[in-house]
Amino acid sequence: MITGAILEKGETGYTYLKKLFRLMDNFQNDYNWLITGCEAYPERPGHRMRIFQSKHGNYAWIDGKELTNIVKKDDFQWIWGVLSGFEKDVSKIDILKYDLPYADGYRGFWEEHIAMQHPLASVELVSWDGSLTLLMSEKTAIIKKFKEVFPLSEDLKEYNRKNTGRAELFNRRMEDEDDYRRRNGCKRI
């Protein structure tokens, strides 16, 4: 079963990974990470190249230790993006057989039955418009720890139940955008 949490209160900025990783006992080191749909502004050019890896397409593949080193040296805010964490024995070849996760426009975050986008992921960390952070995992201990270290975070399933009107409004807006794109030959980016 997938559990999740949302953090949208109590921080001066959201999805600064240095603080999140430190408070979460550096859990990221246990995974390899697929970074997709990313909008972020690292100051160091090498870090920017690494997290965007444009030569591979619209994703980056990075191990947890390298991700840790990047955010320790360059603590920038992630505006949009999905960081999908995979057990070390899951191959990149298998991972890339599936659609790449995305944050901007994904409706599934706001539904009652939450699910991670990538079926092989163990954890997904989402930066949503720089205004909130979502964390989902099949490992309840990760979510429990997140809610302990960020006491203003909320259970994502409960949040979605309380905010069904918001989810319906979001879904209608996305349907309108999808209709516009279809009529005008535009693609979602």
Residue 102's pLDDT band (cuts 50, 70, 90):
very high
Residue 111's pLDDT band (cuts 50, 70, 90):
confident
Residues 105, 178: Cα–Cα separation, whole Å: 10
The helix/strand count (H/E) of the chain reads as 7, 7
Residue 113's pLDDT band (cuts 50, 70, 90):
confident
Q: 3 is written with which tokens?
A: 């559990």
Percent of the chain with pLDDT over 70: 80
Which of 18-27, 32-41, 122-131 has the least mean pLDDT? Answer: 32-41
User: How many Cβ atoms sit within 10 Å of the Cβ of residue 149?
Assistant: 15
40 pLDDT more than 90: no
Q: What is the pLDDT of residues 88-99, one digit of tens each?
A: 999 999 999 999
Q: Are 45 and 99 in contact (CB under 8 A)?
A: no
pLDDT at 173: 57
How many C-alpha atoms does 115 have within 13 Å on its Cβ side? 9
To 5 degrees, how large is the angle CA 115–CA 126–CA 67? 120
Which residues, in sequence order, are bridge partners of residue 58?
none
pLDDT at 184: 60
Residues 21, 19: Cα–Cα separation, whole Å: 6
Residues 179, 182: Cα–Cα separation, whole Å: 5
User: How many Cβ atoms sit within 10 Å of the Cβ of residue 176?
Assistant: 10
